[in-house]
């Protein structure tokens, strides 16, 4: 074969570039175990983006539409996707994923393959298209655009037959080809009955092929990937052990009973499948007016941030758009408070540019020195010879600084290696332990007690030589913990919090408490239904927490759990104490005698709180 002159020039040029690169990176460490794909690496550069749940449920005030709602219920009075994008951008978010179709089957775009869409609604005389508006707004505000498309469809007449998989692929094709670049496709594993009472056997490999064909750079999310996995809970909590690796085939969309494994991943797993951490800013995914004062507190969102972005995950925070078609003012306010906290916490890296040394350096003549971890460049890294499994890095701040948080990053393009680490500071010539942690992965942020020091040392235990690209140190603001409240079975209310010695002021008439409200002086009896709002004050009133609202329903004074199983712990489910737990077998019923006849319209239950996972009821009668 004879190459043209142009091709030869091109060939020589490529050869030179590769040669220079190899020369610049001699003795480069090899990859360890599973590594991320290009599209996963792009996703790892993100941290925080919005989920938007919007559709007929927004207007019918329910979470799961039945699919038989009239399309006319969908009628936002002032839909403004530019407001959503502006709010997300100002909150520091990097993208928006919209429920293009939820389980009720209603399409937010005028799909040719359904008669249950915006086209059939009265909104904008059936000429509107939410995906068009939102994709354009995202482009205008420099945000990424993603789509949630529910395979479960309680409206489509073909659901439950082979034909439906083709219908779904065609719908997907419309979404993936009509609205520009899409960065993430979110597949919900939920699989219930359709209008004909049948369930669907989903063709997930076929759905993924459609995504790859039309949006090759988009990552596909589901419980089991193929690109991004669910974290195993909807509360917004990853765990200290969070491997990006999993055993091939261990997870698939809709899998149940493995939430614990989803949360932790598998050490040494042969597939790269990192976790996305999702939760809603309110209790529900969709908007409900009666949740306007149940927007998660700033403390709670900060906690979610440290347990997602700070625990090797990306944070997907849901904003339930309201019936006007806007992100509600209360949610906007909270998002701005979170942004303000994050700016105050992370805009100054105290370790930036400081010198660093290490127990060992791979090939000291070349570019793997300890100083790479403080140069602010995530593409440079410190590493050791191949056989090192236990090592340390020391950061010299050149002068005393007060620090209370550390950020660590592994160079994950070459695999996830660190199993655990311990952080120490030199205080009065002694090394004192500040904190310890398990896995690192793409990003780990750990808070510790404010400490004044000039030297910080991190010890690593790893499954292969450690490769660390970043170490940053911060002085993050300390928050006043949210007040907590509990009413015992006999109606006695107690208020407490994790902050030392605050004063609590409360109201029972729905007004916002301040220091003129009732001071909490100890447990008191509250034996009716109603709302108690509490705010804590510290430093003689100079600093205060947010107001936390507690809705207390029917008092349980006359309740009794009928103990048919001799299980002494049954009383724990009505003792009002969120810290006590009752475990039942999944087929066991519980009988509660309310002591008198009452008209009931619903019930709530509180799953186990301490593990931040598990304990959820999946079915009940
Ligand atoms: C779940 C759905 O059933 C909820 O409605 C919501 O969309 C959540 C994000 O995923 O599986």
- Provide the Cα torsion 346, 349, 350, 355; round to 10°: 160
Are residues 302 and 476 in contact, defined by beta-carbon separation less than 8 angstroms? Answer: no
pLDDT reported for residue 541: 86
Does the structure show a pLDDT above 80 at 564? Answer: no
3-state secondary structure of 541: helix
Closest ligand 1 atom to 190 CA: 11
Residue nearest atom 8 of ligand 1, based on CA coordinates: 285
Are residues 546 and 535 in contact, defined by beta-carbon separation less than 8 angstroms? Answer: yes
Closest ligand 1 atom to 186 CA: 9
pLDDT reported for residue 64: 94
Residue 565: pLDDT band with limits 50, 70, 90:
low
pLDDT reported for residue 365: 76
**CB under 8 Å, gap of 24 or more: what pairs does 80-84 form?**
80/325, 80/326, 81/130, 81/133, 81/134, 81/136, 81/137, 82/133, 82/137, 82/140, 82/141, 83/326, 83/327, 84/50, 84/52, 84/134, 84/137, 84/319, 84/321, 84/326, 84/327
Does the structure show a pLDDT above 80 at 4? Answer: no
CA 271 remoteness from chain centre? 21
As a whole number of angstroms, the distance between CA 136 and CA 350 comes to: 39
Residue 285 CB less than 6 A away from ligand 1: yes
Distance from Cα 325 to the centre of ligand 1, integer Å = 20
Closest ligand 1 atom to 318 CA: 9
Does the structure show a pLDDT above 90 at 188? Answer: yes
As a whole number of angstroms, the distance between CA 101 and CA 93 comes to: 22
As a whole number of angstroms, the distance between CA 118 and CA 110 comes to: 6
What would the mean pLDDT of 347-353 be, rounded to a whole number? Answer: 96
Residue 592 CB less than 6 A away from ligand 1: no
Does the structure show a pLDDT above 80 at 611? Answer: no
Closest ligand 1 atom to 99 CA: 7
As a whole number of angstroms, the distance between CA 362 and CA 370 comes to: 10
Mutation probe of ligand 1 site: the residue of 285, 287, 618, 619 with most atoms within 8 A of C-beta: 285
**Structural tokens at position 271:** 């597939």
**Which of these, 32, 483, 541, lies nearest to 297 by C-alpha position?**
483
Distance from Cα 298 to the centre of ligand 1, integer Å = 23
Backbone angles phi, psi at 310, to 5 degrees: -85, 0
Does the structure show a pLDDT above 80 at 372? Answer: yes
pLDDT reported for residue 605: 84
Residue 581 CB less than 6 A away from ligand 1: no
Does the structure show a pLDDT above 50 at 536? Answer: yes
Query: What is the SS3 string spanning 328-389?
Result: CHHHHHHHHHHHHHHHHHHCCCCCCCCEEEECCCCCCCCCCCHHHHHCCCCCCCEECCCCCC
Does the structure show a pLDDT above 50 at 9? Answer: no
Residue 10: pLDDT band with limits 50, 70, 90:
very low
**Which of these, 517, 489, 468, lies nearest to 575 by C-alpha position?**
489
Closest ligand 1 atom to 64 CA: 5
Residue 266 burial (CB count, 10 A) = 18
Q: How far is CA 530 from each of CA 507, 551, 574, rounded to the nearest angstrom?
A: 11, 6, 18
What would the mean pLDDT of 395-418 be, rounded to a whole number? Answer: 97
Q: Which range has the top average pLDDT, 462-466, 526-530, 548-552, 557-561?
A: 462-466
Are residues 565 and 589 in contact, defined by beta-carbon separation less than 8 angstroms? Answer: no
Does the structure show a pLDDT above 80 at 364? Answer: no
Closest ligand 1 atom to 63 CA: 5
Residue 169: pLDDT band with limits 50, 70, 90:
very high
- Provide the Cα torsion 302, 307, 312, 313; round to 10°: -80
Backbone angles phi, psi at 172, to 5 degrees: -60, -40
What would the mean pLDDT of 130-156 be, rounded to a whole number? Answer: 98
- Provide the Cα torsion 517, 523, 524, 530; round to 10°: 70
Are residues 318 and 288 in contact, defined by beta-carbon separation less than 8 angstroms? Answer: no
**Structural tokens at position 551:** 């809705």
As a whole number of angstroms, the distance between CA 517 and CA 537 comes to: 12
Omega before 148 cis (within 30°)?
Answer: no
Residue 276 CB less than 6 A away from ligand 1: no
As a whole number of angstroms, the distance between CA 283 and CA 286 comes to: 9
Does the structure show a pLDDT above 60 at 18? Answer: no
As a whole number of angstroms, the distance between CA 137 and CA 144 comes to: 10
Residue 443 burial (CB count, 10 A) = 21
pLDDT reported for residue 21: 45
pLDDT digits (tens, 9 = 90+) for 442-457: 999 999 999 999 999 9
**DSSP-assigned letters across all residues of 549-605:** EEEE-S--TT-EEE-SS--GGGGGGGS--TT------TT---EEE-SS---------
Backbone angles phi, psi at 99, to 5 degrees: -75, 85
pLDDT reported for residue 22: 43
As a whole number of angstroms, the distance between CA 24 and CA 19 comes to: 9
As a whole number of angstroms, the distance between CA 468 and CA 410 comes to: 4
Residue 188 CB less than 6 A away from ligand 1: yes
Residue nearest atom 9 of ligand 1, based on CA coordinates: 285
What would the mean pLDDT of 254-282 be, rounded to a whole number? Answer: 95
Q: Which of 112-126, 184-198, 203-217 has the lowest mean pLDDT?
A: 184-198
Are residues 499 and 538 in contact, defined by beta-carbon separation less than 8 angstroms? Answer: yes
pLDDT reported for residue 19: 42
Quickly tell me which residue has 């065609």 as its tokens: 170
Degrees to nearest 5, angle at CA 306 with 383 and 275: 70
- Percentage with pLDDT > 70 across the chain: 93
Q: Which of 3-7, 216-220, 525-529, 547-551 has the lowest mean pLDDT?
A: 3-7
Mutation probe of ligand 1 site: the residue of 184, 190, 286 with most atoms within 8 A of C-beta: 190
Distance from Cα 189 to the centre of ligand 1, integer Å = 9
Tell me if the pTM is above 0.85.
yes
Are residues 78 and 128 in contact, defined by beta-carbon separation less than 8 angstroms? Answer: no
- Provide the Cα torsion 468, 472, 477, 483; round to 10°: 0
Closest ligand 1 atom to 280 CA: 9
Quickly tell me which residue has 């301490």 as its tokens: 610
Q: Which of 240-249, 276-285, 475-484 has the lowest mean pLDDT?
A: 475-484
Per the DSSP assignment, residues forming a β-bridge with 605 are: none
Round the average pLDDT of the chain to a whole number and report it.
Answer: 92
As a whole number of angstroms, the distance between CA 17 and CA 12 comes to: 9
Residue 595: pLDDT band with limits 50, 70, 90:
very high
Backbone angles phi, psi at 353, to 5 degrees: 75, 0
Mutation probe of ligand 1 site: the residue of 49, 234, 316 with most atoms within 8 A of C-beta: 234
pLDDT reported for residue 2: 44
Q: How far is CA 393 from each of CA 120, 242, 373, 383, 543, rounded to the nearest angstrom?
A: 62, 22, 9, 10, 38
Closest ligand 1 atom to 285 CA: 6
């Amino acid at each position: 074969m004879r190459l043209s002159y142009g091709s030869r020039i091109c060939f020589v040029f490529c050869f030179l570039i590769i040669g220079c690169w190899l020369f610049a990176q001699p003795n480069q460490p090899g990859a360890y175990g599973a590594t991320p794909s290009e599209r996963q690496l792009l996703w790892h550069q993100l941290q925080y983006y919005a989920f938007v749940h919007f559709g007929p449920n927004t207007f019918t005030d329910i979470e799961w539409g039945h699919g038989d709602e009239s399309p006319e219920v969908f009628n936002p009075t002032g839909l403004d996707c530019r407001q959503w994008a502006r709010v997300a951008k100002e909150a520091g978010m990097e993208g928006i994923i919209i429920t293009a179709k939820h389980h009720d089957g209603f399409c937010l775009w005028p799909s040719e393959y359904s008669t249950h869409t915006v086209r059939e609604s009265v909104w904008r005389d059936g000429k509107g298209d939410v995906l068009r508006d939102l994709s354009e707004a995202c482009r205008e505000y420099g945000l990424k655009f993603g789509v949630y498309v529910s395979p479960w469809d309680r409206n489509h007449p073909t659901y439950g037959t082979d034909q439906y998989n083709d219908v779904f692929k065609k719908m997907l094709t419309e979404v993936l080809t009509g609205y520009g670049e899409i960065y993430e496709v979110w597949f919900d594993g939920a699989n219930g009955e359709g209008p004909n009472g049948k369930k669907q056997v989903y063709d997930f490999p076929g759905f993924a092929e459609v995504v790859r064909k039309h949006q090759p750079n988009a990552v596909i999310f589901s419980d089991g990937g193929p690109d991004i996995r669910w974290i195993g809970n909807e509360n917004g909590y990853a765990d200290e052990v969070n491997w990006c690796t999993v055993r091939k085939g261990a997870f698939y969309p809709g899998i149940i009973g493995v939430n614990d494994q989803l949360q932790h991943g598998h050490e040494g797993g042969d597939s790269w499948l990192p976790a996305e951490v999702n939760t809603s800013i309110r209790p529900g995914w969709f908007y409900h007016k009666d949740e306007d004062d149940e927007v998660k507190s700033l403390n709670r969102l900060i906690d979610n941030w440290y347990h997602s972005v700070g625990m090797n995950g990306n944070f997907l925070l849901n904003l339930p758009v309201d019936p006007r078609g806007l992100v509600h003012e209360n949610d906007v306010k909270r998002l701005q408070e979170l942004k303000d906290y994050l700016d105050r916490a992370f805009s100054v890296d105290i370790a930036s540019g400081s010198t660093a040394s290490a127990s060992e350096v791979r090939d000291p003549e070349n570019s793997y020195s300890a100083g790479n971890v403080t140069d602010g460049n995530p593409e440079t890294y410190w590493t050791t010879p191949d056989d090192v499994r236990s090592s340390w890095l020391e950061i010299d701040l050149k002068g005393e600084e007060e620090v209370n948080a550390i950020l660590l990053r592994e160079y994950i393009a070459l695999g996830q290696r660190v199993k655990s680490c311990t952080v120490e500071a030199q205080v009065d010539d002694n090394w004192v332990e500040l904190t310890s942690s398990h896995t690192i992965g793409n990003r780990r942020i750990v808070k510790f007690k404010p400490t004044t020091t000039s030297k910080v040392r991190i010890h690593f235990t790893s499954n292969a030589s450690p490769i660390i690209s970043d170490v940053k140190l911060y002085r993050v603001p300390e928050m006043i913990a949210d007040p907590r409240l509990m009413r015992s079975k006999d109606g006695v209310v107690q208020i407490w919090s994790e902050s030392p010695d605050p004063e609590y002021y409360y109201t029972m008439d729905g007004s916002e408490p301040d220091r003129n409200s009732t001071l909490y002086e100890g447990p008191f009896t509250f034996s009716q239904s109603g709302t108690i709002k509490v705010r804590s004050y510290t430093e003689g009133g100079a600093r205060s927490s947010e107001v936390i609202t507690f809705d207390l329903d029917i008092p349980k004074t006359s309740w009794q759990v009928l103990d048919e199983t001799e299980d002494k712990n049954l009383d724990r489910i009505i003792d009002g104490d969120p810290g006590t737990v009752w475990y039942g077998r999944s087929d066991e019923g519980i009988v509660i005698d309310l002591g008198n006849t009452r008209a009931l319209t619903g019930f709530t239950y509180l799953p186990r709180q301490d593990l931040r996972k598990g304990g959820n009821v999946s079915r009940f009668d």
